[in-house]
Amino acid sequence: MSLIILTHVCRARPLSHTSFRRMCIEMKLSKDSKEVMKRFEMAFLNEFRDCIFQGTVPQITIAGKKFGPFKKGDRASLPNWAIEKLLKYEYVDITPEDSYESLRRLQNLYREEEKQPHKLQTFQPFLYTAIARKTLRLQSDKTSIDPRKYDEVEKLRKMTPFLVETRLSKILRVAKSGAYQEKRNQMAHEERWLCEELVDLLSGWRQNVME
């Protein structure tokens, strides 16, 4: 007995093995991507970055460890989840060299991606997660933030889709050309995962159509 699928006019038609397999792959990719993104987010939150204290802050306890006290200008390496809490109250700022999700950095990346359509720029591994977390943090406090920060949120929201689409076409080319191992260190974690999935999918497709 063959599988069936309903069309938009409610007529039944056989679902071929290839179509069914493709549908299963699409469903699996969608489900897997959500789980993978959550893992990347957790890894990002537990990763340490350097921050600069913007004023006097008493000793703080993070995961059972004591840090500080701090005065203005002091630097410390803290997990991102702790930095997010301190950023909310403007106790710290991320050091310029570690602020890879800043709007200026993103604008520079986008310009370089556009200027060199066939070259894959190096992205920080946690770039997409950092952008998402920053946007979420700013949006959650948008009723009280100043107009400059609100403007930054809007620019981030507009910039990210353009950056993703520009980057996606390059990831597809890498997967198709078989250059993933050579290029993987230039990709963000999400891009690496996607490229690996595409490489496997394209390899299986080529094998099936050539049999």
Residue 191's identity, in one-letter code, is E
Phi-psi region of 49 (alpha: psi -120 to 50; beta: other; left: phi over 0): beta
For the structural domain made of 48-99, what CATH number should be given? 3.40.5.50
Contact by Cβ (8 Å): 130, 105? no
Phi, psi angle pair for 172, to nearest 5°: -60, -40
For 3, how many CA atoms within 13 A lie in the half-sphere containing its CB?
9
CATH class of domain segment(s) 100-211? mainly alpha
Rounded to whole angstroms, the Cα distance separating 160 from 166 reads: 10
Residue 187 CB-density burial (10 A; 0-12 exposed, 13-18 middle, 19+ buried): buried
Rounded to whole angstroms, the Cα distance separating 208 from 211 reads: 5
Rounded to two decimals, the pTM is 0.78
Query: Can you read off the two tokens belonging to residue 122?
Result: 């190096």
One digit per residue, the tens of pLDDT, for the chain of length 211 reads: 333 333 333 344 444 444 444 444 444 555 577 888 889 999 999 999 999 999 999 999 988 899 999 999 999 999 999 999 999 889 999 999 999 999 899 999 988 988 888 889 999 999 999 999 988 888 776 566 567 777 888 888 888 998 999 999 999 999 999 999 999 999 999 999 999 999 998 888 888 888 7
From-to residues of CATH 3.40.5.50 in the chain? 48-99
Contact by Cβ (8 Å): 132, 197? no
- Cα–Cα distances in angstroms (integers) from residue 35 to residues 14, 41, 118, 190, in the given order: 32, 10, 31, 11
Phi-psi region of 137 (alpha: psi -120 to 50; beta: other; left: phi over 0): alpha
pLDDT of residue 23: 46
From-to residues of CATH 1.20.58.2050 in the chain? 100-211
